[in-house]
Amino acid sequence: MEIERKFLIGELPESLLSHCTDTIKLDFPFHEIEQGYLCTKPVVRIRRQDDSYFLTYKSKGFMSREEYNLPLTKEAYEHLRTKTDGVYIKKTRYIIPADMGLQIELDIFHGAHKGLMLAEVEFPDEQTALNYQPPVWLGEEVTFSEKFHNSYLSQHPFISA
């Protein structure tokens, strides 16, 4: 079971930034991710995260939903990549330590979704999720908005305001 809350980031606080030319770079561990969707209802996606490959199924839902990850070989991933539909999602995911032993996963999108920044916080249970008080910089909560699911974004590229 995946239990998470999602937040739209408008601007990162200066305390997190480390400036490099015109790109955002943070001094936290990160992963380079690309993913595509074989199906959006139900969600069946393939993902490359650094040098690892996965096939994922996600059930319906917003804050809580079932999620199954199965490992793929690079060859299987490349084969399935040709079968995806919509826009491929590309993002850098930073792992930022948070209170209560939690982690903020900050996604900075590239390509068709450039300008979009979303943060997710995963929780061990729904009560912890409901009681969580996010730092102010996390911005507007979009946990219950379908338009910020990556599966939705694959069909509707983000348009920066």
List 37, 53, 77, 94, catalytic entry:
37
**3-class secondary structure per residue, the chain:** CEEEEEEECCCCCHHHEEEECCEEEECCCEEEEEEEEEEECCEEEEEEECCEEEEEEECCCCCEECEEEEEECHHHHHHHHCCCEEEEEEEEEEEEECHHHCEEEEEEECHHHCCCEEEEEECCCHHHHHHCCCCHHHCEECCCCHHHCHHHHCCCCCCCC
Whether 37 is a known active-site residue: answer: yes
Active site residues: 37
